[in-house]
Amino acid sequence: MESFIVIRVWSASRNSLNIVSAHKLVVGRSSQALPRTAMRSLATNLLCLAAVAAALTTVRAGCSSSDWWDSFDNGGVSKCDVSSAFINGFYRSDQHSDDHLHNLEEASCCPMTSPWSHLSFLVVHVDWYKILDSNNRWGYCPEGYFVNGFYRTGTSKDWLHHIEEGRCVKPADAPKVYNGCYNHDIGTCFDSKGWCKCNNDYFVTGVYRGDCDELHCMEYLRCCRPATSKETLDELFKVKTFVMEITLRNMALLAHYMGYGWCAGCRSQWVGDDFVRSENAWKADQSMRCDGYKNNQRLGLAFDDWSFKTKNIYYGQAVMEDLQPESVDQGVIVNNDANPVIKTVSRQEISVRTVTHKKTSSWQHSHELGVEVSYTPPDATGGVGGSVSYTFGYETGTTKEDSTGQQQTRTFTVSSTKEIAPFSSISFQLVMSKTRNTLPYTAQILVGFSTEFQGFMRWGGGGNDPDTNYHEDYRGSDDRPTFNYRFGSSTVPFYTALNRESTEAQSPWLWHDLKNNHQSVQGLINYLVDENKYILALTGQFEDVISKQVELTWGPVTKRSVSEEAADDSGYKTITTVTQAGPDDPPAPNPDPPIVDVAVNNQTSSHADSVMEMASGGV
C-alpha cells in the first residue's frame, strides 16, 4: 500500500481561509524504507511549498492585501481598501518582454499604529506628474504622510511615468515628522514576481524611479516609521493646526450631508480629501483634474474667533519647606548711667504674603493665551478653592496682592523686657521664620473657535431626494445658490453652537430630515461637539511664601559706632515686611504636576472607512 502526504496551502482573507493549492506527495509503501530518489523529491517539494507558503503569508499581522489586479491595469486611483491605511510593500507579477505598469498587482496595507486614532485622518494627492517622467527621481509624500495609493493614467501597456500622483494619508492628530526613515533597496526584489516590503513597523512614504521606465525600475522605497507621540502644543499656530486637522474630515462630511457641493479636492472623488490650508481656512484643492458643473466652487471651511479659557485646574501634591530665618528689625540700647535700667522692646510685625507663579509648560508666547490661573492659600480658607485667591496670566511672575487687590498679611506682636547693667549696651533683633509651599497644577484650557461653511447648495436630484440640500429655503432648488453659514461666534464656540442648533432643530437647516436620511450625521455631530477634543493642558506651579513666627532675641553689641553712644531703640514700633525667599534659600522644588486623563469621544456612528462619500456637485 502506498503512503502519501497531502499538504494544503491556505490564504487568509479578512473573513475566511481559502485553500490556494493542495499537493499530494507519495512517499512510498508503508512496509518499505523510502527510496533515495523519493527522499529528494519529497525534500524538493517541501522546499517549494515552504516558499509558496512564505510568499502567501508575507502580509504582516494586522495588515491586509489590497487587490489591484484590475484597478491598476488602467487609469484611475488604486488605493488600500481601508482609506486610512499605510502601505508597507507591493506585490508584482512576472516580468514579460516589456515590464508594464499593470504588473503591479497588490499593496500590503496596514492600519494606523498606536497611539493614532484611525477615525480621523487627512488625505492629500501629491503631484508627481513631472517627477517620475525622468530617471533617477524620487516621488515623496509630504512630511508626516504615508502612501495609501497611486493615481495613474494610460492603459495596461503603459509605463512607470504614468504614476502621476501619490495618495498620501496622515493621522489627523499626528505631527508632521517621522520617527526614523531609510531607503529600502528593492532593485533586485522587484525584478521578479513576489512581495517587496519595508522592514517591520516601517511604511512607504515615497518611491524612486531608477534608470528606465519599466516597472522593475522602481528601485527604492522610502520607508519611515510614524511619530510615537503627539506634538507639544506650545504656540497659537500649533493649536490652530491641531484643531483644524482633527475636524477637517468630519466637518467636510457634515457639510456634504447638509447639501454643500464639491466637498473634496478635484483630484479625489471622496469627501474630505485633498484640502489646502490658507492661514485659518481650508479650501478643497482645485489645482488639477477639475470637471463637473460649478467645479471651481468647492467647499471652504473658514475658522475664526479663536479664544482660550480655563476649564479646570487640578492641583498636585504640595511641598512644604522651611526657609532661612530673616532679621526684619534690630537695634541697640545703651545705658550710660551708673545704675542698672529696665528697658522694654515691643514690636508689631506685619508680614505680607507673596505668591509666585511659574509656568512649567513650554508655551512660547503667553500673551497669545489670555487665560488666568488661580491659587488659593490653604490657610486662608482651609483648602484650595476658597474665596481668597491669587490670579495670574500664564506667565512667570510674583505678586503681593490677591485677586481683589488686597494684601494677605499675618500680624505678630512681641514684647521683651531686659535689665541693662550700668555703663553697658545690649543689642536685639527681630527674627522672622518663613515657610514656602510649592503647589504644582495642571490646567485644562478649552480652545474656542467658530467655523464658516462656504460653498453652494447642491440640487442633488431636487424635491425630497436624499442627495439634495437640507436648507429650508433651497431644498430641491436647481438654482444652486451660494450660501455661507457660520457655526459659532466670538461668544459661542463652534461645538456649542452646533450642538444647540442640531439638538433644537434650529433653522435654517432641516435637521430632522437630515438625520433621518443620513444615519451617519448624528455620529459626526457627536464627534465634533465633544469639548474634550479641544482641551489644551498647561502645567505650572505656585510658590507661596508666608511668615510662620517672629521672635525677639537679645545679644551683645559686637561693635558700637559713635552714633550708638546714646542709642535707645526700645519702645513700641510697627514693622511691615514683604515675605519672600532670600538669597541664601535653595531654589524652589519642581514637583510633578498631576496627570489628567481626558475622555475623548473619537467614535462616530460608523467606522470612518464606511463613511466614504463621493464628492458631488449635485448635477
Cα–Cα distances in angstroms (integers) from residue 598 to residues 310, 353, 595, in the given order: 15, 35, 10
**What is d(CA 437, CA 351) in angstroms, rounded to the nearest whole number?**
16
Q: What is the pLDDT of residue 110?
A: 94
Q: What is the pLDDT of residue 61?
A: 60
Residue 460: CB partners within 8 Å, gap ≥ 6?
Answer: 259, 466, 467, 468, 469, 616, 618
Q: Is 548 exposed, middle or buried (0-12, 13-18, 19+ CB in 10 A)?
A: middle
Please report, for the chain, the start and end positions of each structural domain, with discontinuous segments joined by +: 2-56, 64-226, 236-299+454-534+604-610, 312-444+537-578
CATH superfamily of 236-299+454-534+604-610: Proaerolysin, chain A, domain 2 (3.30.412.10)
Low-confidence ranges of the chain (pLDDT < 50): 1-40, 42-59, 380-386, 562, 605-610
In terms of Cα–Cα distance, which of 52, 112, 59, 65 is closest to 85?
112
Grid coordinates belonging to 445: 484650557
Peptide bond into 508 cis (omega under 30): yes
Cα–Cα distances in angstroms (integers) from residue 336 to residues 130, 343, 425, 568, in the given order: 104, 13, 8, 11
Tell me the residue ranges of DSSP E strands in 198-325. 203-209, 218-226, 275-278, 281-284, 300-315, 319-322
- For residue 209, the SS3 value is strand
Phi and psi at 336, nearest 5°, equal -95, 15
Helix (H) or strand (E) holding 140: strand 137-140
Q: For 189, which DSSP code?
A: G
Q: What is the pLDDT of residue 22?
A: 37
Q: What is the pLDDT of residue 199?
A: 95
Q: What is the pLDDT of residue 112?
A: 86
Grid coordinates belonging to 309: 479659557
**What is d(CA 525, CA 604) in angstroms, rounded to the nearest whole number?**
8
Phi and psi at 235, nearest 5°, equal -160, 160
Q: What is the pLDDT of residue 159?
A: 92
Question: Are 543 and 355 within 8 A, CB to CB?
Answer: yes
Residue in the structure block whose three cell numbers are 527510496: 35
Q: List beta partners, residue 100.
A: none
Q: What is the pLDDT of residue 332?
A: 92
In terms of Cα–Cα distance, which of 296, 373, 317 is closest to 540?
373
b/e 173-205 (16+ beta carbons within 10 angstroms → b): bbbeebeeeeebebeebbeeebbbbbeeebbbb
Q: What is the pLDDT of residue 396?
A: 85
Question: Are 506 and 514 within 8 A, CB to CB?
Answer: no
Ramachandran class of 173: left when φ > 0, alpha when ψ lies in -120 to 50, beta otherwise = alpha
Residue 45: CB partners within 8 Å, gap ≥ 6?
Answer: 23, 25
In terms of Cα–Cα distance, which of 79, 104, 315, 267 is closest to 196?
104
Q: What is the pLDDT of residue 385?
A: 42
Question: Are 136 and 150 within 8 A, CB to CB?
Answer: no
Helix (H) or strand (E) holding 245: helix 236-258
**What is d(CA 432, CA 329) in angstroms, rounded to the nearest whole number?**
9
Beta-carbon count within 10 A of 232 CB: 11
Residue in the structure block whose three cell numbers are 523510502: 34
**What is d(CA 533, CA 551) in angstroms, rounded to the nearest whole number?**
54
CA 494 to chain centre: 19
Q: Does domain 312-444+537-578 have CATH number 2.170.15?
A: yes
Angle, vertex CA 90, rays to CA 84 and CA 92, nearest 5? 145
**Complete DSSP assignment for 77-112:** EEE-SSTT-EEEEEEE----SS--GGGEEEEEEEPP
**What is d(CA 168, CA 39) in angstroms, rounded to the nearest whole number?**
51
pTM: 0.81
In terms of Cα–Cα distance, which of 316, 394, 312 is closest to 589?
316
Q: List beta partners, residue 351.
A: 410, 577
Grid coordinates belonging to 242: 491641531
CA dihedral 377, 378, 381, 382 (to 10 degrees): 180
Question: Are 42 and 36 within 8 A, CB to CB?
Answer: no
**What is d(CA 571, CA 368) in angstroms, rounded to the nearest whole number?**
54
Grid coordinates belonging to 588: 524652589
Grid coordinates belonging to 70: 484590475
Question: Are 373 and 391 within 8 A, CB to CB?
Answer: yes
